[in-house]
Chains A and B, each alone.
Chain A
């Protein structure tokens, strides 16, 4: 089954404790992206990657890092989480072959930073 998976689905942590949210897709997509969803703000892009070892900042990159060492994986790293990073996070991927292809989304990770 074609899918985007994220782990963990739920995470409660404390300020300053480094964490990683994993994202993996099995569709051989070149393009992957991370979003955060906050009430009234919709989805805002954090980082995106057009291919292995190619990443770039989205609209709200502060406090986040990413890496793309393999085509299927795109982990999101919070080196020192803060309460304002409490949010719902989504990973997405799409095939860059056609530039108008829709994105496929993971199920989301709900993060709470105390």
Chain B
């Protein structure tokens, strides 16, 4: 069965500093990996995905994620955090089927 872990409930970072939100996964076969962001009182918005190819994936709003097959990780990163990046971030995994499995979410707080 597929599973996703986000080991940190909360990540705090100062504005302008780099940020990392961690995600590890378990799936049989090749994984399709996704990051979504949820702002207060809003639905989830797609940020980026890894399908195949380059291990560094670039997405919306300056975010990127690094796929590491040996560590089964897909950490979300941004070189310079903004206060407006404060939100709830979800990692998700999908195998060849149609079911997405989401992690529990990590709340990112960017402090001015």
Decide yes or no: A45 and B34 within 8 Å by CB, A100-B51, A108-B42 being known contacts: no
Task: Tell me whether A43 is interfacial, beta carbon within 8 Å.
Answer: yes
Q: B8: shortest Cβ distance to chain A, in Å?
A: 13
Task: Tell me whether B45 is interfacial, beta carbon within 8 Å.
Answer: yes
**Residues on A close to B: CB < 8 A?**
4, 31, 33, 35, 40-45, 48, 50, 58, 90, 92, 96, 99-100, 102-108
From B4, B43, B94, B96, contact of A105 by CB (8 A):
B43
A48 touches B99 (CB 8 A): yes
Docked pose: A58 CA to B97 CA in angstroms? 13
Q: A77: shortest Cβ distance to chain B, in Å?
A: 21
Interface of A is mostly: strand
Decide yes or no: A105 and B45 within 8 Å by CB, A42-B103, A42-B104 being known contacts: yes
Q: Which residues of B contact A96 (CB under 8 A)?
A: 98
Q: Could you give, for residues 64-101 of chain B, a 1 whenever the CB lies within 8 Å of some chain A CB and a 0 otherwise? A: 00000000000000000000000000100010111111
Q: Which 10 A-B pairs have the closest CB atoms?
A: A105-B43, A42-B104, A43-B102, A105-B44, A100-B32, A102-B46, A42-B102, A107-B43, A100-B51, A42-B105
Docked pose: A4 CA to B44 CA in angstroms? 11
Docked pose: A58 CA to B99 CA in angstroms? 8
CB closest chain-A residue, reference B96? A99
